[in-house]
Structure 1
Amino acid sequence: MRKLVYYVAVTLDGFIAAEDGSFDGFIFEGDHMTGINAEYPDTLPTQFREALGLQDAPNRNFDTVLMGRHTYQVPGGLPSPYAHLRQFVVSTKVTDTPDDVEVIRSDVAGRVAALKEEDGLDIWLCGGGKLAAELLPLIDKMLIKIHPVVFGRGIPLFDGKADITKFQRTNAQLFESGVSFMTYERP
């Protein structure tokens, strides 16, 4: 069975984006970028993979990405941001997507559970916080990039009602940039 993996950057105070959905406070340079991108190149947008000469690199961890509407429609975003992956957007409002982006409009948990049953690499839950809260019972693993910044307000890691759910830390990497990369899995 494939795992649903919530892979996301977060601030010290638990936000995955500013109130307007931007990521301006996150650190995009430093040793963490080299280290994490080497391990998870499939999480780079397709245009960045091409710029880095990775367009033909096989996906190592994920073959599917799941995004909420705000994650998909991030300002300056692309209509097919992860063309090297099977792309799903969860939304009742998104109507115009390219052929390689499928919209899930209802029974999100049922659809994700069915995706987990398929053969293949893991499923990357890219965001956002509302979708993560809704899918928490299905999340098997979390890869959290903790940035040494405080936003004070914004979009929380889990935005909505979520039951207490325990995870076990299985790995921790600390980088000179100040970013910590933590891996948590269900016990």
Structure 2
Amino acid sequence: MRKLTYFIACSIDGFIGDPSGDATAMYPFVDAEFLEFLKTEHPETVSTPGRRALGFDDLENRLFDTIIQGRSSYDLALKEGVTSPYAQMRQYVASRTLTESPDPQVEIVSADVVGKVRELKAEEGELGIYLCGGSQLAGALFDEIDELIIKTYPIVYGTGMPMFGSGFAVTEFTLGEVRSFGNGAVVRTYSRKR
């Protein structure tokens, strides 16, 4: 069974963006040290245009071969004219409003996103599924998430878009690897207790 991993950036107080979802306040923390970490450990989580610009478009995927993201996350790429933001993986976008994909490499999941993720998890394969965001999709898929990789940047929003747009549910995860960076960022990996 393949894993669904929510690989997400957040503030110290657990927000993935301001109240409108804008996360640009976190961008300055993606410095040379942090980019090297992404390049060596998680190259597939960098968008295809980003990989090309940084000169590591040829690196093989290490953890994921499939990505699922919400409509708002996908819209960030579309606003830049990019219709296939993660061409290094199979791409799915969960959306109730986007009825037709603007790119043949991107499949729209308009109904039963949980069923689709269960189908993807049941596939054979060494690599997992990257849940890119956003908050509402993470909330809808909460019970299917096997692992969290949380990139925490040293800022506080005070209020904003939570990591999970869902109801209250106490759920335990086990801490695995922790890595800190000179700029104050910390990346923690958690596995769901089953």
Same fold (TM over 0.5): yes
Give me the CA root mean square deviation: 1.5
Task: Tell me the matched-pair count.
Answer: 187
Question: Residues of 2 paired with 1:160 and 1:45: CA distance?
Answer: 27
Q: 2:140: which partner in 1?
A: 134
Determine which of 114, 131, 140 is the counterpart of 1:109. Answer: 114
| TM-score of the pair, normalised by structure 2 | 0.91
Question: Residues of 2 paired with 1:166 and 1:37: CA distance?
Answer: 30
Question: Residues of 2 paired with 1:21 and 1:71: CA distance?
Answer: 9
Question: Residues of 2 paired with 1:186 and 1:115: CA distance?
Answer: 18
Residues 64 and 128 of structure 2 are in contact (CA less than 8 Å); yes or no, is this contact kept in structure 1?
yes
CA offsets 1:108-146 (integer angstroms, 9 cap, x no match): 111100100112310000000111111111100000000
Determine what percentage of the aligned residue pairs are the same residue. 39
Q: 1:40: which partner in 2?
A: 42
Determine which of 89, 96, 102 is the counterpart of 2:93. Answer: 89
Question: Residues of 2 paired with 1:97 and 1:118: CA distance?
Answer: 26
Question: Residues of 1 paired with 2:132 and 2:153: CA distance?
Answer: 17
Residues 21/184 of structure 1: CA separation in 2 closer, same or farther (3 Å cut): same
Matches within 5 A, 1:135-154: 135-154=141-160
CA offsets 1:51-109 (integer angstroms, 9 cap, x no match): 22222221111100000111111274422110111000000111342011001011111
Residues 5/58 of structure 1: CA separation in 2 closer, same or farther (3 Å cut): same
| TM-score of the pair, normalised by structure 1 | 0.94
- Stretches of structure 1 that go unaligned for 5 or more consecutive residues are none
Correspondence 1:100 to 2:105? yes
Q: 1:2: which partner in 2?
A: 2
Question: Residues of 2 paired with 1:15 and 1:37: CA distance?
Answer: 24
Determine which of 66, 72, 75 is the counterpart of 1:73. Answer: 75
State the SS of the aligned residue for 1:169: strand
Question: Residues of 2 paired with 1:68 and 1:4: CA distance?
Answer: 15
Residues 153 and 185 of structure 2 are in contact (CA less than 8 Å); yes or no, is this contact kept in structure 1?
yes
- Stretches of structure 2 that go unaligned for 5 or more consecutive residues are none
